[in-house]
Chains A and B, each alone.
Chain A
Amino acid sequence: MCSNPLYAYFALGGTRPDFRHSTTACWRGYVGTWEVLEGRLYLIALTGWLNGGEQATIETVFPSYRERVFAHWVTGTVRLPQGKLLEYVHLGYASTYERDLLLQFKKGELIGRFVRENGESQGKRRFWLWRRGIHKARQF
């Protein structure tokens, strides 16, 4: 998923724990697991570490919510890239994949779904050219 729904929560006034960014591959210091269930977006798991050394879980951000948290603060588009990598960009979520599934939410409720086609990978293009070549060869 190329979106950070929890970022919006912290930006809107939610308390952000003191996450430790132990690797440059994840500056925010946590990984959230999300689920769309019955047309709603839920945070169902969170892993990370705090600067104090303790392990962060979903309850660290949302005390007394262990299993799922309804992401009612999420309004906007969540991008889910799919297919092969077309162009690598060394910047956050700037890389391009074959297609993006875009889920639109309003106050945590799913209101729209779109697919954006970004092209085909060179490998796939080569495969189709190769198949077309075989097909032509058979015609002769």
Chain B
Amino acid sequence: MLAKALLLGQWYLVIGLLLGIIALGVRPTQIWDNLSAGGERPPLSKVLARYTLAVLVMAPLWPLGIPVVILAEIQERGSLRSLERRERSFAPRMKDLVARLDIEAIEARELVSDPLGGAPQLAFGHLNPAWHNFIAQLPPDAQLWSYAVVWKSAVGGREQRKGYVALQSGQIGLFFETVRHRLAEELQRRQMRDVSSRWVAKLLKSAGPRY
């Protein structure tokens, strides 16, 4: 009886060790990230000790770990699906409309010109084919409006979105986006200092001519 229990116990620990090694193989960066959080490469002995400890701790506790891993996986997949749903759902609303414009007016205000010849001198420059594709899809009675909105993005940040939207029978239709950028950096501007051109010149020089 005792021998049977010992044998079962051995198998239990062997399974735990194997699962621990597999888990570290699947997610090897978790421990590494914690160890190197200070921005410095941790010593090899510390890394080996931490990985060994993790396997040894997991070996006897693996039945508790399995539901945690399954729950974490479900949660991660659920949040990813929710992110995708929210990302797809963006569309300007009536309150985001700014001004009614016709195609000629839009093309005049969005004309791109570059003295170094880095862009075609057309409305929306390199994005001109996308613009033409957009207007080709518009129904004949569509009204074009510009829009501007601060959108809470799926990943939690705020985004500035601007563009042109087709209004058809009072309903929001197709839209063509021209500006989309995260506002996080701008919101932190209070923590920053505006630098004089001398400082910028020095920093740009230290970074090299190209970025």
| Residue ranges of A at the interface with B (Cβ–Cβ < 8 Å) | 1, 8-9, 11-15, 33-38, 40, 42, 44, 62, 65, 68-70, 72-73, 75-80, 82, 84-90, 95-96, 101-102, 104, 107, 112-117, 121-122
Contacts and interface: CB of A to CB of B under 8 A. Distances in A.
B39 A121 contact: yes
A75 B161 CA distance: 10
Contacts of B195: 113-115
B42 to A, nearest CB: 11
B37 A88 contact: yes
Interface stretch (B77-85, B118-126, B135-143): B118-126
A82 to B, nearest CB: 7
Nearest to A121: B39
A100 B117 CA distance: 31
A116 B191 contact: yes
Interface of B: 29, 32-33, 36-40, 112, 114-119, 125-127, 129-131, 133-134, 160, 176-182, 185-186, 188-189, 191-195, 199-200, 203-204, 206-207, 209-211
A45 to B, nearest CB: 8
A80 B114 CA distance: 24
B112 to A, nearest CB: 5
28 contacts: A9-B126, A12-B177, A13-B127, A14-B126, A14-B127, A14-B130, A33-B210, A35-B210, A37-B116, A38-B115, A42-B118, A62-B126, A65-B118, A68-B116, A68-B118, A70-B112, A70-B118, A70-B125, A72-B126, A73-B127, A76-B160, A76-B185, A82-B203, A95-B39, A101-B203, A102-B185, A102-B192, A114-B193
B180 to A, nearest CB: 6
A118 B49 CA distance: 32
Contacts, number: 128
Contact of B125 (A8, A72, A102, A113): A72
Contacts of A77: 181-182, 185-186
Interface secondary structure of B, over-half rule: mixed
Contacts of A65: 118
A82 B207 contact: yes
A102 B200 CA distance: 10
B17 to A, nearest CB: 26
Given A13-B130, A13-B176, A73 B125 contact: yes
- Among B125, B126, B194: residue with most chain A CB under 10 A: B126
A42 to B, nearest CB: 6
